[in-house]
Amino acid sequence: MDMVSLGASLSIGLACLGVAFGQCYFIYKVMDILGKNPKMTPFFLTIAILGVALIESSAIFGLIVAMQLLGAEFSSPLASLGAGLAIGLTGLGVGMGEGLIVEQAVVAANKNTDEKNKILSYMILLIALVESTAIYGIIVAMRIIGEKDMGALVSLGAGLSIGLTGLGVSLGMSFIARKAMEVIGEHTLENNKIIIPFTILGLALIESAAIYGLVIALNILTLPAESGILAIGASLSIGLAGFGVSIGLGMLISKSISRIGLPWISGKSLIPVTVLGVALVESAAIYGLVVAFQIIGGDPSTVGLNSIGAGLAVGLAGAGVGLGEGYIGERAMQAMTVNGASRAKITTYMVLFIAMVESLAIYGLIIAIRLVGHNDLGIGALGAGVAIGLAGAGVALGGGFLSGKSIILIGKRPELTGFLVTVSILGMAILESSGIYGLIVSFQIIGHEAMGVLAIGSGLAIGLAGGGVGLAAGHVISGAFEAIARNPKEKTKYLTFMILFVALIEVLAIYGFIIAFQILGKAS
């Protein structure tokens, strides 16, 4: 019974944390506006009270689950953690996200008082759509509570699967809905009738990651207790990848929505490009979904800890790729809506840059599939997972930064397009070497039997060093793009400086690579 209280505390604690943040965020804005516009006091008091009530539903879900847990009996009391995380993490994201939506609705109503009632009705609609992820969380939590003989790791895996994906999706959806409220405040609905349909489409597209997490969670719940280790691996695979992809998609779609009000832009023309970007970015979550199914279908006696290594490999790499590609898509939406920019060319370069970053997710997928099909490496499998997972995530984020900066400048300075694209490809090739180091170390770990803690040390050495170099070098290259755009006559000189500085930073990844191989040598 004492251990069950941990699940109850996570359930109510995390959910209330998110709700408290969301409520205080928009109430602060309401109080600020009331001081400036006292004539609107009755309306803003109404929207504030309604907002508090709507957002509080996530805390109520957490309360219900906590009370159910305190009265439940489990053969393995730690199984309660899964139920607590399922509703706690989803409630955390929904509470914070809905608060952001109400805050921007208040701002929109203050700017566009003639349509304040429409804004209120759309606010309620968008909150209801975001609420779906908390409902997924309570479904999984109640399923766990209803199975008293469920294994602790099986329960924990199911909770993490829906919890991590639900957290990412609810935050991503809130970015989209909040941006829609902002656009409505700046531009009348009469002149931008496509805003709400476009927003609902965006919310529907991003929700797929939460559905993936729900599907994997429900599949995990069918596993016997002895397959608990597989449940953790599957949850990390879809949970981490789904989280990163959801945030990335939220960035991309919200930027697209923000451009609808521009007088030289047809909102309908943005929809196909946005959907294309979503399809490209979502591939990283699909890799996580595929690996999760592979893990669930495995034999725990032979796969063992390899499942967690596989989950870390594709999950961490997928999270970084989702964020990096989402950033590229966001910058592309901004670039193609610059007055006079060539949308066809920018769309082509968006696809090109996303494809280059995608390779890091593929590296994670390769290692994950290799681990699932390999004999159990014990804790050594964790080293293989973090080597490519951390290195891949860092390089993907760095690649996103440099590609995003490049595509923005292509929109503003089309005469530099050829040079910028060439430098972007060169920069990405240099960055990718750190990811390749991680891939090599992962393969080396898999090729050694029973390395144990040495494998974790080797994986962390290259994973942290390679990931850090990827992030840092990406920022350096994006800075070089700024210099080139400001003084194109000196572009060759700036390119030389860029290569020099990136090479100096790259040495750090080589240090990590050397130490990783030194550690591997101790296992021989």
Is the separation of the CB atoms in 237 and 311 below 8 Å? Answer: yes
Q: How high is the pLDDT of residue 524?
A: 61
Is the separation of the CB atoms in 7 and 68 below 8 Å? Answer: no
Q: How high is the pLDDT of residue 281?
A: 94
Q: How high is the pLDDT of residue 112?
A: 82
- pLDDT (tens digit per residue) in 289-312: 999 999 998 887 777 889 999 999
Q: How high is the pLDDT of residue 191?
A: 56
d(CA 446, CA 271): 44
Confidence label for 165 from pLDDT (cuts 50, 70 and 90): very high
Closest alpha carbon to 239 in 215, 223, 221: 215
Confidence label for 162 from pLDDT (cuts 50, 70 and 90): very high
**162 falls within a domain:** yes
Lowest-confidence pick of 43-47, 324-328, 462-466: 43-47
Which tokens belong to 167?
């957290």
- pLDDT (tens digit per residue) in 373-393: 888 788 889 999 999 999 999
Closest alpha carbon to 254 in 277, 280, 238: 277
Does 188 have pLDDT greater than 80?
no
d(CA 497, CA 238): 40
Domain of 123, in residue numbers: 1-215
Q: pLDDT: is 4 or 319 the higher one?
A: 319
CATH of the domain at 109: 1.20.120.610
Confidence label for 318 from pLDDT (cuts 50, 70 and 90): very high
DSSP string, 101-154: HHHHHHHHHHH-GGGHHHHHHHHHHHHHHHTHHHHHHHHHHHHHHT-TT--HHH
**487 falls within a domain:** no
Closest alpha carbon to 396 in 454, 318, 488: 318
User: At CA 278, angle to CA 276 and CA 281, rounded to 5?
Assistant: 110
Closest alpha carbon to 515 in 471, 467, 457, 472: 457
In the block, residue with structure tokens 């080293």: 383
- 480 CB-near residues (< 8 Å, 6+ apart): 423, 494, 495, 497, 498
Number of structural domains found in the chain? 1
Output the average pLDDT for the chain.
90
**324 falls within a domain:** no
Does 258 have pLDDT greater than 60?
yes
Q: To the nearest whole percent, how much of the chain has pLDDT over 70? A: 96
**32 falls within a domain:** yes
Does 32 have pLDDT greater than 90?
no
**17 falls within a domain:** yes
C-alpha radius of gyration, the chain, whole number? 24
Q: How high is the pLDDT of residue 340?
A: 65
**77 falls within a domain:** yes
Closest alpha carbon to 137 in 157, 166, 95, 94: 166
pTM: 0.91
| C-alpha dist (Å) from residue 276 to 103, 172, 336, 455, 482 | 30, 18, 14, 40, 28
- pLDDT (tens digit per residue) in 421-470: 999 999 999 999 999 999 999 999 998 876 788 989 999 999 999 999 99
Q: How high is the pLDDT of residue 89?
A: 96
Is the separation of the CB atoms in 185 and 112 below 8 Å? Answer: yes
* Burial label, 151 (beta-carbon count in 10 A; 0-12, 13-18, 19+): buried
Sign of the torsion angle spanned by Cα atoms 204, 209, 215, 221: negative
Is the separation of the CB atoms in 228 and 153 below 8 Å? Answer: yes
Q: pLDDT: is 63 or 523 the higher one?
A: 63
Q: pLDDT: is 457 or 74 the higher one?
A: 457
Q: How high is the pLDDT of residue 66?
A: 94
In the block, residue with structure tokens 């309306």: 43
Q: pLDDT: is 300 or 64 the higher one?
A: 64
Q: How high is the pLDDT of residue 260?
A: 76
Q: How high is the pLDDT of residue 79?
A: 84
Please state the rounded mean pLDDT for residues 167-188.
89
- pLDDT (tens digit per residue) in 5-19: 889 999 999 999 999
**185 falls within a domain:** yes
Please state the rounded mean pLDDT for residues 246-251.
96
Q: How high is the pLDDT of residue 267?
A: 66
**14 falls within a domain:** yes
